[in-house]
Amino acid sequence: MITVDRYEIRSIVTGHIRLDGGAMFGVVPKVLWAPKTDVDDANRILLATRTLIAVDRSAKRVILVDTGAGTKWTPEKAQRYAIRHDGEAIDSALSGMGMNREAVTDVVVTHLHFDHNGGLTDWTNGPNGPAAPRYPNARHWIHKRHWAHAHNPTTKDRGSFIPADYACLEEAGVLQFVEGDAPPDPWPGVAWFISHGHTPYQILPVFGEGSQKLMFVGDVIPTSIHLPLAWVMAYDVEPLVTIAEKRRILEDCRRDGLKLALPHDPQVAGVTVGGTADRPAITARLDLA
């Protein structure tokens, strides 16, 4: 755990998935990425699904950033992506911080791809039954235009959205929409970075101010292996935009000391970054456990 401004911050591995290595690294040839990662016989690489927990005890605010792939999977559907989700991981982490699920005040939904936020809801009456919010006391922050995109995705990205993961949220009255490209800060000491390269209107929280800032970098930089500018995913709807966003983030790392919390790295929860724009280098790993 680290402290950033008023927030105690932890990164929790909620599970693991395997996605196609070629899709995860786009135009980068396998001969370059395969030695750096765990790749299986089906050409799938091992990825973590991580949740960031940020606690402001003075304000009694408990924030979750993303919720993992969730538990709403039949064995047959889970097998495609080798999904393993620990439904107790977040609860256990909260307990270790002296809290429980009911204490969660806010959930940041960076975007609605199933591997990031399938855990927003749970089945209430067994497999394929009705779903209900897992954190009914929390406001669920999502960009309004991403919410619209998830309900009308493109042919390219529609497989990443599973309506059963989020259909009940609006009826439950838990949504808090973020609007525009420069939305106001949601809480003291937290700002939004709005990203469009991976998916439209992904919202990435930046905790802290000045030289003490931490960004949950979402799928702009899913793992530490993805730091080089050209190493972007074929899943991205606008890969050149991702590269431009990555350049901007890495410049903030070098100039202002911005730290990064990663969503999918099985081994590395967060990093500080130096080097140059074309050759970024990890200078330290963050202890976010």
pLDDT in tens, the chain (289 residues): 999 999 999 999 999 999 999 999 999 999 999 999 999 999 999 999 999 999 999 999 999 999 999 999 989 889 999 999 999 999 999 999 999 999 999 999 999 999 999 999 999 987 777 899 999 999 999 999 999 999 999 999 999 999 999 999 999 999 999 999 999 999 999 999 999 999 999 999 999 988 889 999 999 999 999 999 999 999 999 999 999 999 999 999 999 999 999 999 999 999 999 998 789 999 999 999 8
Task: Tell me the three-class secondary structure of 165-191, residue by residue.
Answer: HCHHHHHHCCEEEECCCCCCCCECCEE
Q: What is the rounded CA–CA span in Å between residue 70 and residue 90?
A: 11
261 assigned to some structural domain: no
81 assigned to some structural domain: yes
Q: Which residues contact 128 (CB under 8 A, 6 or more apart)?
A: 74
CATH of the domain at 34: 3.60.15.10
Taking phi over 0 as left and psi of -120 to 50 as alpha, with beta for the rest, 128 belongs to: left
What is the number of alpha carbons within 13 Å of residue 288 lying toward its C-beta? 31
125 assigned to some structural domain: yes
| Number of separate domains in the chain | 1
Token pair 């990031």 is found at 116
Helix (H) or strand (E) holding 113: none
Q: What is the rounded CA–CA span in Å between residue 44 and residue 96?
A: 33
271 assigned to some structural domain: no
Q: Which domain holds residue 15?
A: 2-217
131 assigned to some structural domain: yes
Q: Tokens at residue 247, please?
A: 């350049």
Q: Which residues contact 98 (CB under 8 A, 6 or more apart)?
A: none
Token pair 């497999």 is found at 127
195 assigned to some structural domain: yes
243 assigned to some structural domain: no
178 assigned to some structural domain: yes
Mapped onto helix, strand or coil, the DSSP state of residue 115 is: helix
